[in-house]
Structure 1
């Protein structure tokens, strides 16, 4: 996913970046666009099938949203073009003006 993001002209994300939450705990994001407070997360099957993982994700995503992060969740069936379109809208909503020309 990171390479596709870069090939399409998006900013370099921080991989597995640590994020300190106001709830008092730390989490990590798959692809973190820290300057824009946008997070691209890849959810594998365990995020859906493991009940404990699912509920940890709910709490984590709620805390991220409360702290002003836009989280884009990507699964194996989401077409790349859709994921990139969602990333584009999120980054632009946070002030990114597009690839340098």
Structure 2
């Protein structure tokens, strides 16, 4: 949780909400400010592009993800982890 993500030169690219660095999968919660604040939105655009360039898959969550929609987001995270080599049940 909240682990720094750096590029090959050591530059801080992001501090992710919840990440799986071995598989480069990141879960991010976007609150209202990510939508309503132009500066925040601009930073998010650059940050997400930087993470994609580094090979990270970012699965974003908002307050709208509740119930079945939340379960679907978690399923997406699981699918991304499996696609990147994670084996469910392996220790």
TM-score bracket relative to the smaller structure = 0.7 to 0.9
Q: Structure 1: which 5+ runs fail to align?
A: 1-14
CA RMSD across the alignment: 1.7
Q: Structure 2: which 5+ runs fail to align?
A: none
Does the CA contact (< 8 Å) of 1:92 and 1:98 recur in 2?
yes
Q: TM-score, normalised by structure 1?
A: 0.79
Alignment of 1:51-66 (within 5 A): 51-66=38-53
Q: TM-score, normalised by structure 2?
A: 0.88
Which residue of structure 2 lines up, in the alignment, with residue 93 of structure 1?
83
How many positions carry a matched residue from both structures?
A: 87
Q: For the residues of structure 1 that align with 2:89 and 2:33, how far apart are their CA atoms? A: 34
